[in-house]
Structure 1
């Protein structure tokens, strides 16, 4: 049940942003799968053109995803507003970290001068271990996961809300599980987290958009 502060503009923004996020995540997922299929070795990083497209998609998706969480904050009841605020903050932090990482890689790392530096791979590559890879894991497997888990308690009644709640919990827990790959230095295990934020989320945001769409009827 939406809170009293949730108006028509919030509903439209949340609905449009949720569905846009779902669609872009489907494109991201397809690109990721094609990139993984193209690898000669599971330990190799994804190469162009898939890599560049994925970078651009992340930079595009994150502000829209923050907008979804902002709409969700208005959707939440007064009793749930602390959870929705924390979900919004966690998503905003994730967006800042991952957008910065991917924008730097799209721009700075492409210069010939940078490619010639011996430490460039350690700083800017997505081959473990690297600074960029670590920051991106922090964004998605920690802050994104926390955002999902904080948002889940907002949804309490109705089949659609329960479906969104369940998907948020699954997405958050799988994303957190990806952190196991860090101390083990095994990025194959870390792919569990990718399932959480790249495979589950298109369905999650699709249903969330439907929740926003139906919210004015107050039937959920």
Structure 2
């Protein structure tokens, strides 16, 4: 069986990959500041992160999500033909993550803090960002389910040289940790969900940083999965 020859990454897709991965890294570093400060200020592990840290995190999440989707699209362009289907799954589920979490945080940012709504009996179970609430449950769906599927699907794309294998490993760790955050629902403990936060706020930016290198190298010669697939093999 002859393995299909992959195409080199085009200049537009390469620039998209470099820019989107770089923006993801930079915004993730910025996100780490209020996240760390907010976690350190908690009176107890189960308490929600307070202001102004939470509002800063909401804004950074909303503006970072388009870059993460663009990065997944660049991965799809980079992927070898036989693995583009997995990259496509990654694009779809990262888009779902973006729609759900951006909607959640935009509503919280613009609606939940309005003075005329404070004291309403439905506000706490609907719009507060703590368990149990509708918005918190939707955010868990976005990150611990959709995001985990996205990065685990993208991980399948990468194989071949050392850099590609490193990307694959980091994406797998990010997805597994994000999925582990679901245990917070079963155990009814917000501190358990912090495991999931480590997956997408701590590990995923490392994958994005490695992808900057992958996309930079893709302009000259196939790397990773492209190099692996570029050898026509007769079996």
TM-score (norm 1): 0.96
Query: What residue in structure 2 maps to residue 125 of structure 1?
Result: 128
Shift of 1:6: 2.6
Write the distance in 2 (CA, Å) between the matches of 1:106 and 1:62: 16
Query: What residue in structure 1 maps to residue 35 of structure 2?
Result: 32
User: Is the contact between residue 8 and residue 222 of structure 2 (CA under 8 Å) also seen in structure 1?
Assistant: no
Shift of 1:5: 6.4
1:34-53 matches, cutoff 5 A: 34-53=37-56
Higher helix share: 1
Query: What residue in structure 1 maps to residue 71 of structure 2?
Result: 68
For structure 2, list consecutive stretches of 5 or more residues without a partner in the other structure.
224-235
Query: What residue in structure 1 maps to residue 119 of structure 2?
Result: 116
Choose 116-125 or 53-62, whichever is displaced more.
Answer: 116-125
Give a deviation string over 1:121-158, Cα, whole Å, max 9, x none: 11111121111110001000000000010000111111
Residues 77 and 116 of structure 1: is their aligned pair in 2 closer, same or farther, counting only changes over 3 Å?
same
User: Is the contact between residue 8 and residue 218 of structure 2 (CA under 8 Å) also seen in structure 1?
Assistant: no
2:157 paired with 1:193? no
User: Is the contact between residue 3 and residue 74 of structure 1 (CA under 8 Å) also seen in structure 2?
Assistant: no
Choose 134-143 or 24-33, whichever is displaced more.
Answer: 24-33
For structure 1, list consecutive stretches of 5 or more residues without a partner in the other structure.
none
2:23 paired with 1:20? yes
1:1-220 matches, cutoff 5 A: 3-4=6-7, 6-218=9-221, 220=223
Whose radius of gyration is greater, 1 or 2? 2
Write the distance in 2 (CA, Å) between the matches of 1:206 and 1:146: 20
Write the distance in 2 (CA, Å) between the matches of 1:47 and 1:180: 23
Write the distance in 2 (CA, Å) between the matches of 1:203 and 1:214: 17
User: Is the contact between residue 5 and residue 74 of structure 1 (CA under 8 Å) also seen in structure 2?
Assistant: no
Choose 112-121 or 85-94, whichever is displaced more.
Answer: 112-121
Choose 203-212 or 39-48, whichever is displaced more.
Answer: 39-48
Q: What RMSD, in angstroms, separates the aligned Cα atoms of the two structures?
A: 1.3
Across the two proteins, how many residue pairs are aligned to each other?
Answer: 219
Residues 116 and 166 of structure 1: is their aligned pair in 2 closer, same or farther, counting only changes over 3 Å?
same
Query: What residue in structure 1 maps to residue 227 of structure 2?
Result: none
Choose 107-116 or 138-147, whichever is displaced more.
Answer: 107-116
Runs of 4+ with deviation above 6 angstroms: none
